[in-house]
Structure 1
Amino acid sequence: MSTPFGLDLGNHNSVLAVARNRGIDIVVNEVSNRSTPSMVGFGQKNRFLGEGAKNKQTSNIKNTVESLKRIVGLNYDDVDFETESKYFQSKLVKLDDGKIGAQVRLGGEQVVFSATQLVAMFINKVKSTVVEETKGKITDVAIAVPAWYSEEQRYAVADAARIAGLNPVRVVNDVTAAAVTYGVFKSEMPEGEQKPRIVAFVDIGHSTYTCSIGAFKRGELKILGTAYDKHFGGRDFDRAITEHFADEFKTKYKIDIRENAKAYNRVITGAERLKKVLSANSTAPFSVESVMNDVDVSSQMSREELESLVAPLLERVTDPVTRALAEANLKPEDVDFVEIIGGTTRIPCLKNAISEAFGKPLSTTLNQDEAIAKGAAFICAIHSPTMRVRPFKFEDVHQYSVSYSWDKQEEDEDHLEVFTAGSQFPSTKLITLHRTGDFSMEASYTNPEKLPAGIPTHIAKWNITGVKIPSGQSSVPVKLKLRCDPSGLHIIESAYSVEDIEVEEEVPRAADAPEDAEPEYKKVTKTVKKDDLTIVAHTFALPEETLNELIEKENDLFSQDKLVAETEDRKNALEEYIYTLRGKLDEEYSTFASDDEKTKLRDMLAKAEDWLYEDGFDSTKARYIAKYEELASLGNMIRGRYLAKEEEKKQALRSKQESERMAELAEKLAAQRKAEAEKQEETPKPDAEGDIDLD
């Protein structure tokens, strides 16, 4: 049975959760952190993923790619790319398909990976973390992504999950996932005809600000409105602080950190720490040792200075709130509670502005960092065929209207608005067209002028074949089931032709008709299903052949990473064995080896050490194992003698302790018998008549 897995794919850090033990658990990574850095690094032999990439980021800055979710599914020529590119130290390039890729060095060679591949590498890493932690099987995942993701970006994330060997059962809006957590684990929700509880969720993370309004009843959630500012987040505060200190250090220390990527990264890392300190304090010191050119820098900043630096950003704080309320047709006073999530909502000036916008205090009953991942894990559990979960129905909201169009035939219309902006999904619509043969359909946004810049107007195209025209007819009715699925993807679920046939149907008997009256029949026309049609979809999803190639490449890279890790483990084991055995040879093992054996073993250890730091510094796993076994052939024999003697001592000690316990027990029993005997002698005995003799 697969353990349901929820992934909050964050820009800076990602959080992993699983549904198990009748609850939702956060999965800690290999260093016991409850979140994992969302980055991928590349080295001479292998990749560094998550924590490994973060640890090597400063020394490997050009070969470390972060902010993965900002570039996946994005075109290189997109207007957003200019904004995003300033947050990258690695080289981003334009791929043949117009998408964004990263150019890095792996194994001494220059290689290019697409953004989808990079996300797949990270997902494969966190999948391994979950497998290691749960010791279970992981096949399904629900991935939480920003509400502003286009259909193309949602397909790209789903493809990345497939490359990583997972089945993406749902790609869900991140704030919706947090709202699910709220609805599932909150008690005392309205029921039946009671007024729903209206809750606003404000999520400000590392790069995005989203506000969603939800209406809750027991076991039910409807998202009424969602708005966002996708260029508003913690990284903007970090960058403002860094740019401020870059100017100060240029004057104060005569160094320009903008010219040195590693120095800039050190300062931006320090800026993130400073921002967190200023959330709880009015002023905070700032220092970085040897930032560049062996120069140590130091300064300080007050909360007022920070707010002044980000003043243009703070002017936009209430925009998403205002737009979300307008989309939901609500006023601030209609909102019952305001829940804040995301690390950046801890900044005091943001909290104050949000509170004033709603005119009420803020709630923090949800875990600000983990609510999204927990909701995603619950959603994945809903899709599990083997896991029983608390009944909970939820619907998200269409951001934009979507129309389906087809080639016009006769006097039919050639398009129809199927899903309107503000309506809920998942949803299904059934339409009927009269077709003269095979045909095609397309889905596109109804009002392109309302779309944010960069989102493609076209969504998908389908070729529908197998239409058979009966003799004597010019066309045939075709029914199509159009669906916006739970991931917000627009599909044609089924298509089939129908025909009208005449059947006889019994006429309902009149109330006053005699019981033995003959039944009456009438002819009626019924529409029945005739032929299933073949649907060939052309969506943003990767073609099957391309997907399989990328899966194979990821598997090769994963195997190489595993081999490098195992080789390093064997090398470390050999090094540890050399130093441990050498030390014990003069101590614990001294009396268990002859002088000849000691001389021989010391010589073997010296040669192995020389080899390890010279020719064997960069060897193979098999060579390290062979060297280890060569030393162990003699070392383990001596160790065996030592362990045998130690076991003999332990057995002797156990025997002695057992003998002492038995002797102590025997002594205790003898004392008890003696005490009982003495007690019996002291007790007076009755005479023959039963009286007690006192003389």
Structure 2
Amino acid sequence: MSVVGCDLGTLSSVIAVARNRGVDVITNEQSDRATPSLVGFGPKSRYLGATAKTQEISNLKNTVSSLSRLAGRSIKDPDVQAEQEFVTAPLVDVNGQVGAEVSYMGQKQQFSATQLVSMLLTKIRSTAAAELRLPVNDIVISCPAWYTDAQRRALYDATEIAGLKLLRLINEPTAIALGYGITKTDLPGPEEKPRRVAFVDIGHSNYTCSVVEFKKGELAVKATACDRHFGGRNIDQVIVEHFAKEFKEKFKIDVNENLKAKTRLAAACEKIKKILSANANAPLNVESLMNDVDVRGFLKRDELEELIKPLLERAIQPLEQALAEAKLKPEDIDAIEMVGGTTRVPSFKAAIQKFFGKPLSYTLNQDEAVARGCAFACAILSPVFRVRDFSIHDIVQYPIEFTWEKSPDIPDEDTSLTVFNKGNVMPSTKILTFYRKQPFDLEARYSKPEQLPGKVNPWIGRFSVKGVKPDSKDDFMICKLKARVNHHGILNLEQGYYIEEQEVEEPVPEKEGEKKDADAMDTDQPNGTAEKTADKTTKTRKVKKQVRKGELPVSVGTASMDQATKDACIERENQMFMEDKLVADTEEKKNDLESMIYELRDKLDTTYAEFASEEEKDRLRAKLTESEDWLYDEGDDASKAVYVSKIDDIKSISGPIVQRYMDKVEEERQAILKAQEEEAARKRAEIEARKKAEEEAAAAKKKAEGGDEEMTDAPASAEGKGPDEVEEA
């Protein structure tokens, strides 16, 4: 069973897996540690991840990016409209949700953002499975902290469509904090002052500052502030505009009129940004950018910092907001951990360090910290691993209120209540109480829409409570509803039930200081001792208690996909997955056929020359030429079965030749093995003979030494005897 965490980024996604010795980031088919968050469409199949990146320039209108920023949003959202600047495929409305219209399998098709995310997750699943050589089921995925309920539901649905089980949808700064804290052995104890750490994460499109308190075995997020339009791509955009203006004057070309030229220039500007993070200046060269014009440019770091000055002025705002919501000052922060590729920009680092007034810390991997935290979260939730106990206390980012219609029987009833305030611990459960005589509806919505990203609809869900009726006394039914923001950050009305007040008897608690044996009497015992016997009657009182009597059915309407639509999407995804697999297998067989033609042609006059007659060689050469002509003519777009058939035709002629060669190779191998065995036996015999000779020599030496001793002893013993005895002996 696998334990996988995924940082689902705007530009690229990182996959991490938990192993017995820790967490590893795994590589894709191109041995890259990050997989581009791209989905492309072609005439035969989809292009997912790295393959989508390789054909992006030639397939711009059918390649979709920024998937995590589109999920769960409407085409009318101003943020989505602004996102079209960075997405090359046309965005359209798909059943009330933003999606993309692309050319796929030779026809125009539309896919919602949820479907597009599920396609990327399918690629992530197959990449992880290929690396682990195990099926991948459970996963923890990260999302920006500013995600709304609808966006979280969209990711949850996308995960199910991709055939994965989402164990937790975790906020990116929380994942970073978990990866930081779970490995620390020096965190303060429960009674000590907590360690306060500010995590500053500036990625490709998001800027987040989160203040987290750590104690041994737990973390608590105190505040999180975000700037949704601040990141590496905004710097790239500034550089692109700078060079577009320069090239218009210098080379008389306008890259804004050509999408392909602008995309190529953006890729070159991204490289310049990275170079300038470590160098004072950087050149730019793009061949045949537009109208066959080669362009050259040059940019200094000082010039770049002047260009991004408006961004630098915004760099402090999330820091100030996070500290204000946490009710802390810069000097209260013990450490500032920098995460995200854009935190490498020197001017941003200088501005952040100046604000906190202390050195910045880079103990975490800036590109992989989120994915590692996700893998740790997955390991904690998975029964496969035993992980150090570590509690995660996240917070609600936006206040949530419930509204309902006024009951005709309660004219002065309030009709709204903020149930979850901003900063409340998540997950969290609240019980709502209603007094009703008939079924009723209520809605959940965000109480401060102005805080939401873009102009997102503040509506979260509508809930209808059934089975409500007057009680036996024609009075109100007391209805209880359990509302919960779960660990995904998704709101649900999990349960409805009704209660009744009943009179029950309960013992009267003894008052403090009351004489316990006031009602006891002394009785004489046979041995003359006295024993106090308590009165067997216990004082009781009647009290009213609420007793749960039954369930209330609740019908739910939220932004989640209905089951029928989800099932259709799952079936469509499986179908497209099999189509992709068939195309990949067909391409593999085509390559096998091509390789076979060239390999046999080369070996026929060398390796296989002595194993084939001239007639066989002529037949095989003719077949290879025929197959090659077919392959590069009408066979360029054949089916898998046709390629397999062509391979079999060639094997029918080449098979005997190759078999003779293999038999000769096997014969030689067996001869070599036999010779090696004989040589080994000879060496063993020599060793045994040598060993035997050494043993015999040692025995002879020992015997010789024993004889010398006897000869020296005899005269010595003879000295004390008479001449006759010696002579006689």
Give TM-score, length-normalised by structure 1.
0.96
**Contact conserved, 2:79 with 2:453, CA < 8 A, in 1?**
no
- In structure 2, the partner of 1:183 is 181
Q: Out of 495, 513, 535, which is 1:517 matched to?
A: 535
Q: Tell me the amino acid that sits aligned with residue 104 of structure 1.
A: V
- In structure 2, the partner of 1:15 is 14
Q: Does the C-alpha gap of structure 1 residues 275 and 653 become closer, same or farther in structure 2, counting only changes over 3 Å?
A: same
Secondary structure of 1:577's counterpart equals: helix
Structure 1 residues 474-483 or 347-356, which shifts more? 474-483
- In structure 2, the partner of 1:494 is 495
- In structure 2, the partner of 1:237 is 235
Secondary structure of 2:58's counterpart equals: coil
Q: 2 CA distance for matches of 1:668 and 1:541?
A: 79
Cα deviations by residue, 1:349-385 (Å, 9 ceiling, x for unpaired): 0000011111111001111111111111222233324
Q: Does the C-alpha gap of structure 1 residues 50 and 689 become closer, same or farther in structure 2, counting only changes over 3 Å?
A: closer
Q: Out of 610, 621, 627, which is 1:591 matched to?
A: 610
Cα deviations by residue, 1:563-612 (Å, 9 ceiling, x for unpaired): 00000001111111111111111111111112222121111111111111
Q: Please say if 1:49 is aligned against 2:48.
A: yes
Q: 2 CA distance for matches of 1:225 and 1:684?
A: 93
- In structure 2, the partner of 1:288 is 286
Cα deviations by residue, 1:531-558 (Å, 9 ceiling, x for unpaired): 1111211111011111111111111111
**Contact conserved, 1:4 with 1:380, CA < 8 A, in 2?**
yes
Structure 1 residues 467-476 or 270-279, which shifts more? 467-476
Structure 1 residues 512-521 or 282-291, which shifts more? 512-521
**Contact conserved, 1:466 with 1:533, CA < 8 A, in 2?**
yes
Q: Tell me the amino acid that sits aligned with residue 454 of structure 1.
A: K
Q: Please say if 1:125 is aligned against 2:134.
A: no
Q: Does the C-alpha gap of structure 1 residues 692 and 324 become closer, same or farther in structure 2, counting only changes over 3 Å?
A: same
Identity of aligned residues (%): 47
**Contact conserved, 2:84 with 2:90, CA < 8 A, in 1?**
no
- In structure 2, the partner of 1:326 is 324
Structure 1: gaps of 5 or more residues: none
- In structure 2, the partner of 1:160 is 158
Q: 1 CA distance for matches of 2:259 and 2:76?
A: 24
**Contact conserved, 1:480 with 1:494, CA < 8 A, in 2?**
yes
- In structure 1, the partner of 2:431 is 430
- In structure 1, the partner of 2:33 is 34
Q: 2 CA distance for matches of 1:635 and 1:52?
A: 35
**Contact conserved, 1:68 with 1:118, CA < 8 A, in 2?**
yes
Secondary structure of 1:159's counterpart equals: helix
Q: Out of 540, 547, 552, which is 1:528 matched to?
A: 547
C-alpha displacement of 1:686:
2.2
Q: Tell me the amino acid that sits aligned with residue 519 of structure 1.
A: T
Q: Please say if 1:76 is aligned against 2:81.
A: no
Q: Please say if 1:640 is aligned against 2:650.
A: no
C-alpha displacement of 1:425:
1.5
Cα deviations by residue, 1:268-311 (Å, 9 ceiling, x for unpaired): 11111111111000111111222233332222111011111111
Structure 1 residues 176-185 or 440-449, which shifts more? 440-449
- In structure 2, the partner of 1:396 is 394
Cα deviations by residue, 1:327-358 (Å, 9 ceiling, x for unpaired): 11111111110001000000000000011111
Q: 2 CA distance for matches of 1:389 and 1:661?
A: 52
Structure 2: gaps of 5 or more residues: 521-532, 716-729
Q: Please say if 1:545 is aligned against 2:564.
A: yes
Secondary structure of 2:463's counterpart equals: strand
Equivalent residues in 2 for 1:333-348, closer than 5 Å: 333-348=331-346
Cα deviations by residue, 1:110-144 (Å, 9 ceiling, x for unpaired): 11111111111111111111111112232222211
Q: 2 CA distance for matches of 1:662 and 1:457?
A: 85
**Contact conserved, 1:189 with 1:197, CA < 8 A, in 2?**
yes
Q: Tell me the amino acid that sits aligned with residue 516 of structure 2.
A: A
Q: 2 CA distance for matches of 1:418 and 1:385?
A: 33
Q: 2 CA distance for matches of 1:545 and 1:662?
A: 74
Cα deviations by residue, 1:398-452 (Å, 9 ceiling, x for unpaired): 2332111222223343222211122222111123211112211211222334445
C-alpha displacement of 1:388:
2.6
Cα deviations by residue, 1:213-253 (Å, 9 ceiling, x for unpaired): 11111111111111111111100111111121122222222
Equivalent residues in 2 for 1:160-559, closer than 5 Å: 160-409=158-407, 410-411=409-410, 412-507=413-508, 511-512=516-517, 513-514=519-520, 515-520=533-538, 521-559=540-578
Q: CA RMSD in A?
A: 2.0
- In structure 2, the partner of 1:89 is 88
Q: Tell me the amino acid that sits aligned with residue 25 of structure 2.
A: I
Give TM-score, length-normalised by structure 2.
0.91
- In structure 1, the partner of 2:721 is none
Give the paired residue count: 692
